[in-house]
Chain A
Amino acid sequence: MADLTYWLALVVTILNYATPLLIAAIGVLIVEKSGVLNLGVEGMMIVGAMVGYIAGSYLDTSSCALMGFDGVTCLQWEGTLTIPGYIASFLLAGLAGAALASLFAVMTQMFGANHVATGLGLTILGLTVTNGFGPDAKDMRVESVANLLPDSWVALPTVGRLLGTDLLTVLAFLSAVAALYFLNRTRVGMLVRAAGENHYAAHALGYHVRLIRVGTILFGGFMAGVAGAYISLVQLEAPTWREGMTAGAGWLALALILFSTWRPLRVVLGALLFGLAFSLELRLQSLEWMPSWGVQFVLPSLPYLVPVLVLVIISRNAAMIRANQPGSLAQPFNPSS
């Protein structure tokens, strides 16, 4: 059983679960590096998941016509989200996340509201809105999402699974590298860090701390929205919308940042670890070495137990956290006083 095909499939599954965590976490990383703590990730993700799904269900065939294909071809594509529709769906999901984030930006940057309270409110808002106004699965649906590579490649035995990896998975890992470069090698990235390390110093040097933070907050919202849409459109291989379907992924993204102590490449490592925990749930069940209470209760909590355990271990090393934590994270900022 445990041949190359099996292990490749496991790798693909880990990547699949790691992708939304990584995308959202890179957003969180940039936000926190600018000194803002936004606990609204879960809310922005679920809104992104819903908007992405709705957009996808409207864009599946119309995008086909937009590309200039004839009606017969488009009919064959019905229910399949094509590449342009895919890009548009994710952009819309990201914008929806950013729109929710803009509320947070206004509250915290214009009115000086408390970050923690506002962020929690954002999560509750996102979950409530999507519960009340979420679409009914029987009214709209996306059947599948087109592969980036030709279908014949994806259908290949063994390596096909790897070739079927979604474009966003690739982009997610690239975004971690980009974040590393951005924070350490670009002028804007350094300004972000300056705002996060000591906002009064940055302010005294003439930088517009609030503007920088509004920018990062919107970026974080965009990433959370995209991550949410990945869950509803791609992750399951069966595009699905359901209330609360992000199931804490937003909180895991926040936990990832603590795990990584604000270092981009460790975010990647953490996302893979959390992804492994998700992948093992059903795989361990089929090995049948665990008593049934373990199968029923321990395995499903694995993706949440692992982060808790890891965080307990990490937080024993307070020095490392202090060395990397942005100095002004979630601190009140009153430049006029």
Chain B
Amino acid sequence: MKLMKTLTAGLLGTAMAAVTLAAQAEPTKVGFIYVGPVGDLGWTYRHDQARLAIEEAFGDDVVTTYKENVEEGATAVDAITDMAEAGQDIIFTTSFGYMDPTNQVAGNYPNVKFEHATGFKREHDNVSTFSARFYEGRVIQGLIAAKTTKSNKIGYIASFPIPEVIRGINAFTTELKKHNPAAEVEIIWAFSWFDPAKEAAAAQTLIDNGADIIVQHTDSPAAMQVAEARGVKAFGQASDMSRFGPNAHLVSIVDSWDSYYVDRVQAVMDGSWSSSDTWWGLTKDGMGGGQGMVKLASYGNMPDALMAEAKALEASLASGARHAMPCPINDQAGNLVKDCAEGAEHLSDLTLVTMDFYVEGVTGNIPQ
């Protein structure tokens, strides 16, 4: 009996060692699902840059693959399943609309790790979510827009009525109104993340309606190009879009996923990966510690004084000296938002994550 046990243990040990050896020899496989083309020069482009950062960091120890232009919703299930079937160790699904598909596939492949961007559902132990506090950048845009607009009309191209987009509209408008109560925001919904034709048409319409600053929450630089052609100002989104609007570009909110992606792949490699929810802003901890997921790039086309003011605001948001959405904040009906009514100093993360209401100052209704 004892001999048997020893033998079995020995055999098992050898087998385990073999598995470990094989695991070390086998590179970690990392998959990406993209909502747009890699060449969108916006959102997807930045995720792909982070994929390249993973390759840079780990060299031959990783193999990365991606699938671009994957539609949100049910069709994404097939794309994610294909990735899991192909033996990926970790799969990054990089759009809000992949939330349910990611969780669905994750249930079928418990050994694969899933990282879903901008969502909040983690139905299985192998699903993590992560997002960036882009609204910190919106606050800075609100200040710049308030002091730059001459027509007091701002055009805002929104994508889908989801919390992330509504949060951006609220953060922008709150700061805008603080510095320029007469300024108004007109919102056009593109109902798409990446549709250059629609984005350009939206920018054209907003400018025709009198807007002299364009804010976008869509992925292509088309709106920036239209702003340049029409001689108005615009903010870049996701990537540094200054080269598309040499005279129009004010500042871009740039997504910076590199550091998070490298961390997570490292965690898979040393087996320390676990389900988590990560939300970095300008800094990792919101108190000045480490480069976060949000950067502001290429301030320009504004007076030096305003640029200095904007950068000072950026610094205080990064250090945590100031919160992006401090109380008091009213809803559209003029009542204090719940967090503020309960005496909080600023809106809570829960309120921000699930935001489904406009704050005071935003006109119109959220499409349902």
Please list the residues of chain A having a beta carbon within 8 angstroms of any beta carbon in chain B. Answer: 1, 6, 9-10, 13, 136-139, 143-144, 155, 161, 235-240, 242, 245, 247, 281-283, 285-286, 288, 292-293, 295-296, 300
Number of residues of chain B lying within 8 A (CB) of chain A: 39
- A236-B205 contact given A138-B38, A144-B228, A295-B189, CB 8 Å threshold: no
Interface bits B218-233 vs A (CB < 8 Å: 1, else 0): 0011111110111100
| A296: chain B residues within 8 A (beta carbon) | 189, 191, 367
Which of A137, A282, A286 touches B41 (beta carbons < 8 Å)?
Answer: A137
Report whether B205 and A282 are in contact in the complex, using a CB–CB cutoff of 8 Å.
Answer: yes
- Find out whether the CB atom of A143 lies under 8 angstroms from the CB atom of B205: no
Q: How far is the CA of A220 from the CA of B257 in the complex (A)?
A: 49
B208 at the interface (CB under 8 A from A): yes
Number of A-B contacts (CB under 8 A): 91
Assess the B222–A286 pair: CB atoms within 8 A.
no
- A292 and B197 in contact, given A137-B40, A238-B225, A286-B205 (Cβ under 8 angstroms): no
Q: A13-B208, A143-B228, A286-B186 are in contact. Are A238 and B39 (CB under 8 A)?
A: no
B196 within 8 A of A: yes
CB under 8 Å from chain A, chain B span 211-244: 220-226, 228-231, 244
Residue pair B229, A144 in contact (C-beta under 8 Å): yes
- B225–A237 touching, CB < 8 Å: yes
Chain A CB within 8 A of B73 CB: no
Residues of A within 8 A of B223 (CB): 238
Residue of B nearest to A296 (CB): B191
A236/B200 contact (C-beta < 8 A), A144-B228, A285-B188 known? yes
Cα A292 to Cα B244 in complex, Å, equals 32
A interface footprint on B326-358 (CB within 8 Å = 1, 0 otherwise): 000000000000000000000000000000000
Bound: A286/B189 CA distance, A: 9
Whether B45 sits at the interface, judged by CB under 8 Å, is: yes
A245 to B210, CA, bound (A): 28
B201/A292 in contact, CB under 8 A: no
Choice from B37, B209, B225 contacting A143 with Cβ under 8 Å? B225
Complex CA distance for A293 and B367, rounded to whole angstroms: 8
Residue of B40, B188, B222 touching A238 (CB-CB under 8 A):
B222
Are B209 and A1 touching (Cβ within 8 A)? yes
In Å, the complex CA distance between A207 and B347 comes to: 81
B368 at the interface (CB under 8 A from A): yes
Q: Does B266 contact A (CB under 8 A)?
A: no
Question: Which of A6, A155, A238, A286 has the most chain B CB atoms closer than 10 A to its own CB?
Answer: A238
Q: Is the CB of A240 within 8 A of B205?
A: no
Write the nearest CB–CB distance from A203 to chain B, whole angstroms.
45
Q: How far is the CB of A13 from chain B (nearest CB, A)?
A: 7
Residues of B near A1 (CB, < 8 A) are 209-210
Cβ of B272 under 8 Å from chain A:
no
Q: Which residue of B220, B226, B368 is within 8 Å of A237 (Cβ)? A: B226
Q: Is the CB of A242 within 8 A of B196?
A: yes
Q: Tell me whether B275 is interfacial, beta carbon within 8 Å.
A: no
Q: How far is the CA of A285 from the CA of B161 in the complex (A)?
A: 14
In the assembled complex, the Cα of A13 lies from the Cα of B206 at a distance in Å of 12
Bound form: Cα–Cα A10–B205 in Å: 9
Closest Cβ–Cβ distance, residue B278 to chain A (whole Å): 28
Q: Cα distance A285–B201 when bound, in Å?
A: 12
Q: Mark B116-150, 1 if CB is under 8 A from A, else 0.
A: 00000000000000000000000000000000000
Instruction: Assess whether B200 is in contact with A237, with CB atoms less than 8 Å apart.
Output: yes
Contacts of B188 in A (CB 8 A): 282, 285-286
> Shortest Cβ distance from B6 into chain A, in angstroms?
61
Q: Which residues of the partner chain A approach B200 to less than 8 Å between Cβ atoms? A: 236-238, 240
Is residue B202 contacting chain A, with contact meaning CB distance below 8 A?
yes
B303: interface (CB < 8 Å)? no
Q: A9 near B225 (CB under 8 angstroms)?
A: no
CB distance from B363 to the nearest CB of A (A): 9
